[in-house]
């Protein structure tokens, strides 16, 4: 915007902009509507904007209306030449000209895109950027082998963002690691289909399923394999036990040994379990990428 002058009208305009537009835009996405009482198209658009603002209130959207006849100084600062003129305004800056979007559907589509891109927080939410470090902290603590503390961290973040897949998935894996499998199962069972299909949730579900298959007695399995390296049932059970004990390297080794001997054993159970382990570890984990290369070498080498 151009620099405002210092006469009384301009000082009032500055105060109004600060109070009604700039300050609210620090936390909300503002629909800034320039209109006039005599403007026919404005009267057609205003009810649509008001409805959208109501529908999107919980997503952090607010409507600010500027009467160009009453607030001439503000209209001049925005160089409004025709009305209706509509801007999306966020954190003190106009970020999009919405003037050419005149239907409810068009406006909602562009608002959805802006909200996602900007990470606008709704009422009671914390901006996405604020929970990122907390999620990273929970993941780091979980990776360091302290699931109880990780549960506490993810519970706190879950209170802030219960619909964030990374938060839900992290909490599920922390609960599984801490032996609270029934709560993890209940959390997964209560998710909406849309949320349940997200990759971080699938990772949590894989961790729970692997935990269900784990056993603690490995000595007898080790003896069976030592006596008969071709005992694939024992290797499969040992892989589950080792994964439950946190020894993912040994679990991967046993499953790959099965695949090397008979890739179709038990309807491909070893390959399925191997991929499940990779999913539980996270597809971007360097360890996962290494294990994928080992599997590919066996299957296609």
Q: Which residues are catalytic?
A: 39, 42
Separation between Cα atoms, residue 172 and residue 183, nearest integer Å: 8
CA torsion through residues 38, 42, 47, 49, sign: negative
Please list, in sequence order, all residues whose beta carbon lies within 8 angstroms of the beta carbon of residue 19, skipping any fewer than 6 positions away. none
Helix/strand/coil (H, E, C) string of the chain? Answer: CCCCCCCHHHHHHHHHHHHHHHHHHCCCEEEEEEECCCCHHHHHHHHHHHHHHHHCHHHCEEEEEEECCCCHHHHHHCCCCCCCEEEEEECCEEEEECCCCCCHHHHHHHHHHHHHHHCCCCCCCCCHHHHHHHHHHHHHHHHCCCHHHHHHHHHHHHHHCCCCHHHHHHHHHHHHHCCCHHHHHHHHHCCCHHHHCCHHHHHHHHHHHHHHHCCCCCHHHHHHHHHCCCCHHHHHHHHHHHHHCCCHHHHHHHHHHHHHHCCCCCCCHHHHHHHHHHHHHCCCCHHHHHHHHHHHHHHHC
Cα angle for residues 149, 154, 159 (degrees, 5° grid):
135
User: How many CB atoms neighbour CB 268 within 10 A?
Assistant: 14
């Amino acid at each position: 915007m151009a620099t405002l002058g210092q006469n009384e009208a301009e000082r009032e305009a500055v105060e109004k902009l600060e109070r009604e537009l700039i300050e609210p835009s620090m936390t909300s996405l503002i629909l800034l509507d320039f209109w006039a009482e005599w403007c026919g198209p404005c009267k057609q658009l205003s009810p649509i904007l008001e409805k959208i603002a109501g529908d999107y209130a919980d997503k952090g959207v607010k409507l600010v209306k500027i009467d160009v006849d009453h607030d001439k100084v503000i209209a001049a600062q925005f160089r409004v030449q025709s009305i209706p003129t509509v801007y999306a305004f966020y954190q003190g800056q106009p970020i999009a000209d919405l003037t050419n979007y005149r239907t409810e559907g068009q406006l909602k589509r562009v608002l959805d895109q802006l909200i996602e891109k900007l990470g606008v927080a709704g009422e009671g939410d914390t901006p996405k950027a604020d929970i990122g470090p907390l999620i990273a902290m929970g993941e780091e603590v979980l990776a360091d082998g302290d699931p109880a503390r990780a549960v506490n961290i993810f519970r706190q973040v879950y209170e802030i963002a219960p619909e964030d897949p990374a938060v839900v998935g992290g909490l599920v894996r922390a609960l599984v690691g801490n032996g609270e499998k029934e709560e993890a199962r209940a959390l997964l069972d209560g998710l909406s289909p849309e949320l349940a299909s997200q990759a971080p949730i699938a990772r949590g579900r894989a961790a729970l399923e692997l935990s269900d298959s784990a056993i603690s007695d490995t000595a007898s399995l080790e003896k069976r394999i030592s006596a008969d390296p071709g005992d694939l049932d024992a290797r499969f059970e040992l892989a589950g036990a080792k994964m439950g004990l946190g020894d993912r390297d040994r679990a991967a080794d046993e499953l790959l040994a099965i695949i090397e001997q008979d890739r179709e054993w038990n309807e491909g159970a070893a390959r399925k379990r191997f991929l499940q382990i990779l999913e539980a570890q996270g597809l971007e984990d360097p360890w996962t990428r290494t294990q994928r290369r080992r599997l590919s070498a066996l299957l296609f080498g």
